[in-house]
Structures are given as C-alpha cells and as structure tokens.
C-alpha cells in the first residue's frame, strides 16, 4: 500500500474538493507544512497578543465597575456594566467568526495535512478559558502557540503551549506558589503549590501515563515550574517571589538551584526529547491518522525518527508517511464531528462571502448546536486530555443521528445553490463510489436529501 492522491486527501487532509487539486506526492504533503501559511493570510484569526487586549479591557471594566459599586455611583455602575457586556458580546461574536474562518481554511487549503496537524496538536495541548472573555481564547491560543510550531521541534511547541497564559490559567498554574517562596512565607497559609500543570505536562504532553515517572517527579516539576505565571497586562512572565527556592530533581536530573525560565526551558527540552515521549507521540500520531489500534511497526518507525532527530516533527511526519502501514485501508477511523463538518464544507466548496456574514446566533444554529449533538462541543472537550480517538465515542445513536440531520439540513442553508447530486458523489468520494451511495443519491426525493445521503455514507465519514 502506497501513496494515492485521493486517499492522501481523505486520510491526512479534509477530503476532496471540486476546486482544489489533490496533493501530488508525499514530498508535496511535507512541503505544505513548511511553506507559507496561505490560509492564515486568507482567513486571519486573532493572535493571543491581540486577544490579550480584550482580556485587559475586560479587567479594566470589571475593576471600574467594582469601584463604582463600592462608591454606590449608580450611573457609573450602569455604564461599566454595559461596557463589560459589550466586551463579552464582542468576544463571543469573535469566537463564532473564528469557527467560520477555521472551517474556511479547511475548505480552501492546498496544505490540508498541515491543517490536520494543527488540529491534532491543538488537541494534544488542549487548553480552554474558564471565566469571562478567556472562555473565547482558544483560537488565538492555537494561532500563537501551536500553528507556528507544527513543522518545528516538539520541544518548541511544548514550551510555547505550556507558557501561554491560556494554558497557565486552564491548569491553574497561575495560582501555584512555592511553599518556601517569598510570597508564601509573607502570607502564611494563604498560598501553595498546584500540581495540575506539572502532572499534565508529564502525563499528557510528554511521557504519557505509562511513562517512567513517579509522584515525586510530578511534585518536583511542580516546584520547578513555580514562578511561571502571567499577568493580564503583561502576558507570560516569571515572578521570582512565587518561585520555590533550591534545586529540583526530575527523572534523576537536577535543575536549579536558581529559579527562572532557564531551568524551566531545560526540563521541558529534556522531557520533550525523552524516549518515552517519542513513543507516546508516535503512538498518538498513528492512532489519530491511521487507525485506532495501529500496527507496532508503524509506531516504532515514527518513534525511531523522533528519537534520532531529537524530536524534529518533520522527520516524524516523514517517517509516518513513508511507512506502508500508514496507507492501509482496513479499519478506517471515523472523522470526528468538527472534521466531518469541515470535510462537508470542502466537498461543497462553500463560498466565504455569505458564510462570514453569519452572526453568533446563526453559527450556533448551524454549527455549535449540531456539533454538541454529535458529541463535540466546539473547543470545549471534557478535560485536558482532549477529544477521544476511539470510534466508539463518536459512532453512537445520537452522534450518528445528529450527523445525518446536519448533512440533510445544513448544507442547503449555506451552499447556494446545492450541487447536482450525481456530480457531487464523484466530487465528494472520488474515483470509487460505492454502488449503494450512487443509487441513493439518484433515488432521493430532493436535492438536499441526496447531498445529505452522500455526506452520511461511511465512504465519506471514514478515512
């Protein structure tokens, strides 16, 4: 089994498009990762630095409102409440807009493997806001911490992700303070260590839950990471007064004794290039892109490339794509809901212009609501371990019903006009169209049902 252009688009991209040519070779797939990020230019999404201005505005409005409440100034309370509400509403609208732009990037990209990888890593480094405008911060976080590093070193992506304010906030690290730090000693009993970030860095981001670590390593890493925090006004920074003094030992290696970003960078580099990390990442790539129970040979091949290149991601992707098992066609994975919707948009070549005019309410009706029914609330996975990979999580009665309903109901609202179903079958599925799908597309009573049937077919939903 080897490269085929159509299968490459399905398995490693967002499926076929009537307007974008399938990728020509494995080399072209890899080149697409390091090439200029065309889609970020065509459909820009705010970076986290810009998003931080929203956080600053929200904080300022909150402070002003509290001051007004303290002085009992009713006019000012009203004014600042309104200001806060406007900031919140604009952020909600922005998030809806970023979903549309994310979908459009996937609809029009010629670098589809890059987009899929960006999604894969965004899930690997799941982070979400828990309060206020932060709740809308995921897309900007991905734009800044994930996307620029997709074709780089794993260590650099790890560093960018876990030092981003959204991650520090999500995993409670902004409140983690060394028990012997200046701050904790000044305020006895008020502050303490929070191990959440340290635990997830080891368990989810690097070594994996089966990795060779103990609770002591988690605790020591948590102490080493103290001081790493952010301020809304300044972004990520290191606060010496939060930091636990002295050296820490993680996996037998000593870091310190002087706290700072230096030893934090060092331990993250070491974790990122650890053989257990190589194994963990190799396995995750194979499970996500190929099949739920991937062949050992494929995992080992990626793992070796990761180790030999010191965690160079391009080398790891190349190893995956060059292995014949990556192209095996049995036990196909089901596309998770957001990918399914993206692939449908691509097959239908949905036009950007009317789509981008949709407001938050329409985005909720067309995407947020249906995706929640499919089991994937946009950018709100249950925990830091991200979305499940196993097909059983998605192929549920409700999940499948929601996909069929979306496929029959939504395309006609966003594609005008809907394509001819007999042509659409070939555009969406390529050279080999299963007989029953061609039959159903022709036998349906209406055009929108015919399109919906093609999109509902296993040939479309699996890759």
Partner 1 sequence: MTAALSRRSFLSRSAFIGCSLAASPLLTPVSFAAAPWENRLVVIILRGGMDGLDVVRPVGDPSFAALRSRTMAETGFDLDGQFQLHPALGDLMPLWQAGELGFVHAVSTPYRDKRSHFDGQDLLEAGTENLGSQIRDGWLNRMLQQIPGVQADTAYAIGHSDMKLLSGSAPVANWAPESDLRLSPQALRLAELVMESDPQMHAALAEAMSLAEAGRALGGLERGERTPPHLQIARYAADRLNRDARIAAFSLNGWDTHRAQAQTLTRALGPLSETLLALKSGTKQEVWQRTAIIAMTEFGRTARENGTGGTDHGTGGLMVLAGGAIRGRVVHGDWPGVGADALYDGRDLMPTRDVRAQAAWIMRGITGIDTSLLERHVFPGLDMGSDPNLLF
Q: Which residues bind partner 1 (CB under 8 A)?
A: 69, 72, 77, 81, 130-131, 171-172, 175, 194-196, 199-200, 203, 209, 334, 369, 372-373, 375, 377, 380, 382-383, 385, 391, 395-402, 404-405, 408, 434, 436-437, 439-440, 443-445, 449, 452-454, 456-458, 461-462
Q: Which residue has the tokens 């997709």?
A: 150
Task: Spell out the residues 6+ positions from residue 89 whose beta carbon is closer than 8 angstroms to its own.
Answer: none
Q: Which is nearer to partner 1, 173 or 288 (CB)?
A: 173
Q: How far is the CB of 248 from partner 1 (least distance, A)?
A: 19
Nearer to partner 1, 201 or 307 (CB): 201
Q: Is the dihedral of CA 350, 354, 357, 359 positive or negative?
A: negative
Please state the closest distance from residue 115 (CB atom) to partner 1, in A: 25
CB atoms < 10 A from the CB of 432, how many?
9
The answer to whether residues 45 and 98 touch, using CB atoms and an 8 Å cutoff, is yes
DSSP 366: I
Task: Considering the complex, state which of residue 319 and residue 341 has its C-beta at the smaller distance from partner 1.
Answer: 341
CB contact at 8 A, 102 and 45: yes
Residue with smaller CB distance to partner 1, 130 or 357: 130
Q: How far is the CB of 380 from partner 1 (least distance, A)?
A: 8
> Measured from the CB of residue 166, what is the shortest distance to partner 1 in angstroms?
13
CB of 245 to partner 1, least distance (A): 24
> Which C-beta is closer to partner 1: that of 107 or that of 291?
291
The nearest distance, CB 197 to partner 1, in angstroms, is: 9
The alpha carbons of the chain give a radius of gyration, in whole angstroms, of: 24
Task: Give the nearest distance from C-beta 426 to partner 1 in angstroms.
Answer: 15
Nearer to partner 1, 81 or 249 (CB): 81
DSSP annotation string for 399-456: HHHHHHHHHHHSHHHHSSSPPPHHHHHHHHH-S---HHHHHHHHH-SSHHHHHHHHHH
Closer Cβ to partner 1, 112 or 127, answer by number: 127
Q: Are 23 and 9 in contact (CB under 8 A)?
A: yes
CB 288 within 8 A of CB 120: yes
Contacts of residue 196, Cβ cutoff 8 Å, sequence gap at least 6:
171, 172, 173, 176
> What is the smallest separation between the CB atom of 458 and partner 1, expressed in angstroms?
4
Residue pair 463/333 in contact by the 8 Å Cβ criterion: yes
Q: Which is nearer to partner 1, 352 or 434 (CB)?
A: 434
Q: Are 206 and 272 in contact (CB under 8 A)?
A: yes
């Amino acid at each position: 089994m080897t490269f085929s252009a159509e299968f490459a688009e399905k398995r490693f991209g967002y499926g076929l498009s009537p307007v974008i040519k399938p990728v020509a070779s494995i080399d072209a797939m890899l080149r697409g990762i390091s090439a200029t990020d065309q889609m970020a230019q065509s459909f820009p999404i705010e970076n986290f630095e810009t998003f931080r201005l929203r956080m600053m505005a929200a904080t300022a409005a909150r402070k002003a409102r509290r001051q007004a409440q303290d002085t009992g100034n009713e006019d000012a309370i009203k004014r600042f409440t309104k200001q806060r509400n406007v900031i919140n509403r604009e952020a909600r609208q922005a998030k809806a807009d970023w979903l549309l732009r994310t979908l459009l990037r996937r609809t029009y990209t010629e670098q589809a493997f890059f987009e899929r990888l960006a999604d894969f890593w965004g899930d690997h480094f799941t982070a979400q806001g828990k309060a206020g405008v932060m709740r809308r911060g995921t897309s900007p976080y991905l734009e800044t911490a994930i996307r620029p590093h997709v074709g780089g070193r794993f260590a650099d992506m790890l560093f960018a992700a876990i030092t981003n304010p959204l991650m520090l906030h999500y995993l409670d690290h902004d409140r983690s303070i060394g028990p012997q730090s200046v701050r904790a000693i000044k305020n006895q009993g008020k502050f303490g260590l929070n191990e959440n970030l340290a635990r997830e860095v080891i368990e989810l981001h690097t070594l994996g839950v089966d990795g060779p670590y103990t609770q002591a390593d988690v605790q020591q890493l948590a102490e080493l990471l103290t001081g790493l925090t952010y301020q809304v006004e300044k972004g990520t920074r290191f606060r010496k007064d939060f930091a636990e003094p002295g050296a820490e030992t993680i996996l037998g290696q000593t870091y310190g004794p002087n706290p700072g970003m230096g030893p934090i960078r060092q331990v993250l580099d070491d974790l990122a290039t650890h053989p257990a990390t190589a194994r963990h990442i190799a396995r995750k790539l194979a499970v996500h892109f190929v099949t739920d129970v991937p062949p050992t040979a494929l995992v080992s091949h990626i793992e070796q490339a990761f180790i030999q290149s010191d965690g160079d991601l391009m080398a790891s992707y190349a190893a995956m794509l060059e292995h014949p098992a990556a192209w095996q066609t049995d036990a196909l994975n089901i596309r998770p809901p957001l990918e399914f919707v993206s692939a449908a948009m691509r097959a239908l070549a949905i036009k950007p212009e009317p789509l981008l005019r949709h407001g938050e309410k329409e985005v909720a009706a067309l995407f947020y609501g249906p995706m929640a029914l499919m089991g994937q609330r946009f950018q709100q996975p249950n925990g830091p371990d991200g979305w499940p990979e196993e097909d059983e999580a998605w192929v549920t009665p409700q999940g499948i019903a929601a996909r069929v309903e979306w496929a029959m109901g939504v395309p006609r609202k966003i594609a005008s006009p809907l394509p001819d179903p007999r042509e659409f079958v070939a555009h969406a599925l390529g050279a080999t169209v299963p007989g029953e799908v061609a039959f159903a597309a022709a036998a349906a009573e209406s055009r929108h049902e015919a399109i919906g049937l093609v999109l509902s077919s296993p040939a479309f939903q699996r890759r």
